[in-house]
Structure 1
Amino acid sequence: MIDGKRVLIILPAWNEAEGLPKILREIQQKLPGADTLVVDDGSVDNTAAVAAATGSRVAQLPYNLGVGGAMRFGYRYAHLHGYDVAIQCDADGQHDPAYVPALLAKLDEADLVIGARFDGEGSYKVRGPRKWAMKLLSVVLSRITGTRLTDTTSGFKACNKPLIEFFSQWYPVEYLGDTIESMVGAARCGFTIRQVPVAMRERTTGTPSASPVKAMIYLARAGLVLLLAMIRRMPANLKAIQPATRTAVNRPELIGKV
């Protein structure tokens, strides 16, 4: 428990056996009241065994589904076990658990809180076409959600109990959909989105891939995902889930039909 709330930190992990013990021990040290769930996304190394040995709850997916599929499972687990807050955290060490209290505090006025890299905290930089793509997404999604957003592709997020239930029933698994489409879907259904500044660290494992060509592909795919997110009809059963907070983003001219 943290401040009277049951908090689950979900770590989607694919072949992260090398770095997991360090990040899990850090979470245990800085957030002793939180539970962790490592979703082993079809790893071929001993990710699951390492996570279990470090004291975390572990779920093993039979094959690799991607971050979206792993997070959908994580939200279902959080909903079924009655957690008040679910936090997505990378398993590669980039996300500092010390910022979790800031995300939790912001949940007093929002349903979804994003840990934003480009909001005055830290020195994380992106360049070239990828930077342009991320800026464009931030401008468009700020308009859609009715709030200023600077890091719409961040994988460091916290959501409250109503949104956990929402995501447990509907969470996109497509590439980029787990960040962009999930955010648009939540906004279209009346959930409030905010951000807090965080500093990102260098990953402890793996190698990021970046090139101008890949960045342009990223932009094209992000644009397609955004378009589909705006026109896709939301399942009718989601209307029964009431957000804890509401904003003016519910205006029909912004969101269309749900």
Structure 2
Amino acid sequence: METLDITMLIGLVLMVSALVILYRCVRRKSRRQRMNGLADTLLSTNDSLELQVSKLENLLGTLSDDNERCSALQYRAGQLQDTVDSLEYRRDELERENLSLERTHDELMRSNAALVEKADGLRDAIEKNGQAVVGLEQRIDTLRRIREGLEAAVENLPAEEVPYLSQPLFSLGIQPSAQNHLTAYGLRYVGDLVPHDEEYLMEIWGVGPATVERIKSKLGENGASLGMDVIRIDNRWYRRKTD
């Protein structure tokens, strides 16, 4: 009985020892697997770290480029700010000049309004004076005709009409410029011209010796001459007859 117990005890001890050995073997195998897994993990982590380091280096390069661009942009921003300040100063100057021009414009407008008003007044006065002069000329001409008519009737002086004297000045064939100067003196017809002498015509500006000779020649061709004693009634001229 005791031998059986010892045998069972030994068997139990051997069984326990086998279990311990088996456990240790299993444990060693598990540690090795974990070590292999850890090694694999470390290798993977190393690769990941190298990748991250590479990315970090690229990022640092990008940041360096960005920093240079930022510095350039800051410098450019400073230049733009200087330009803006200069433009604002110029704008203030232009605003002051514009204000001065507006004031000058207002003064000119007031002066122009005053000048326009004065010009209107002068124009009205000139028109009135011109009308008065025309009226006086017409009245003087009428009175002169009446006087000449009365003179012819009272003195009963014989006179004959000279139709050629009713011709306008251009019929003399003189230069238009000379004709304009004669017209300015109120000489519009040949009959207005013949009562005057050569000296009177030569005193008119723009009428020279050649024009006077042309007038004398043309008058002679038509039986007239300068210094004639004529009477005008309306637009008809009569030459006095002397016994």
The TM-score, its normalising length taken from structure 2, stands at: 0.20
Higher helix share: 2
Larger C-alpha radius of gyration, 1 or 2? 2
Higher strand share: 1
Which protein, 1 or 2, shows the higher relative CO under an 8 Å CA cutoff with sep ≥ 6?
1
The TM-score, its normalising length taken from structure 1, stands at: 0.20
